[in-house]
Structure 1
Amino acid sequence: MTHFVNPTTSHLQNPNSRKHFVLVHELGHGAWCWYKLAPLLRSSGHNITSIDLAALGIDPKLVLDVPLTSKYFSPLIRFMDSLFSHEEAILVGHTCGGLAITQAMEKFSSRISCAIFDWTLATLLVRPSHVYGAGDQQRTIKLSSKNYGSVSRVSVMIDQDKVLKRYFQRWMIEQNPPDEVREIAGSDHMVMMSKTYELFVQLEDISWKYS
């Protein structure tokens, strides 16, 4: 069983590792969804932090305790704030986890070497979660070219996603073009489970290219 490290101390456990990946799950999921990918990254010497966003995974809060986007993102924001000033992380956001890492990019751009967005959805082992309105998101997520725009961004497309169709993935990418678009062929929406090794190879390559 994969042990998901405590977000407040994980960056102190393996100071000699090469990169620090921070994995952020989809709406309704938790840190558990990275259980196959995390060991592969650790086996290459990387530090891994899998975040439980508020009221999800094993976080004890209830969904009604998290009415605002800012509250939902808070575990990731607290973790990024706990990093030493000289540390740099690679953020990986699975679908709606991309909203959380986007907020972190604006607040902590100097501590992020690269952000990777995985445009897929997942449906297993989910918990009920709040549907945050566009108005709340617009108030919370305010992006600038100085901060958010300074972080390298890579989007990973999934060709067999049955929920977010390919044309919609392309549309989302066109609305906010990243530095690079990559694709993992043959995966369903749970890419970290169905194509774990292929995703690992992509993350490993991206981490060196953009760090």
Structure 2
Amino acid sequence: MAKIRIMDEGYIKFQPIWTKTQAFSVSGFHDLLKYRQKCYDREWIGVYPDGIGFGNISERIDGGKAFFISGSATGSISILGPEQVAKVTAVTAAENKLWCSGPVLASSESMSHAVIYEQLPWVNGVIHIHHLGLWQHLLHKVPTTPADAPYGSPEMVAGIAHLLETTDLPTRRLFVMEGHEEGIFAFGKDLEEAFGVLVRGNRDRSFSGVTA
């Protein structure tokens, strides 16, 4: 088991406790690979010219709090495979700690995914993309996290939890991150629904979410 602390601006801001293992069976996250490819093909997940990757996608495991998620620094990979997928098994946001396993370290936004799964048991798929135009259009028109909440931080987790508790976010299923330019999250009962929220949002800039 490796206990790592990475605080630079590259990717991970939380303290991961990572058990390195072989790749998991693809049968556990078939939809994750399918919809990650769809997002990558639309350039919603990818890599900037400076080499910094963006976007991530996750899928809940068997109705529990654990989930599979695309690994850290995988935005540049054109076709994601099992060797780039991690399993998150526990999170303590207040202590800024996350437990994960797999061949790669879990994504920098894993704690943000975790709070959605924890608060909304019916959610089974979460997608985080970057899209400047849609982000600019939706900022403060849909639930928006605080400007001073950095990505992948306990402050971001608290901001998302607050939105889930005090706004129509559970019905809207879409929010933007003011302190993380271009950052947009969507979720749904499965990844097909989460992806559909983003597709409709990109197609119609007057989009306001979906109804339960």
TM-score surpassing 0.5? no
* TM-score, scaled to structure 2: 0.27
Q: Which has the higher strand share?
A: 2
Q: Which has the higher helix share?
A: 1
* TM-score, scaled to structure 1: 0.27
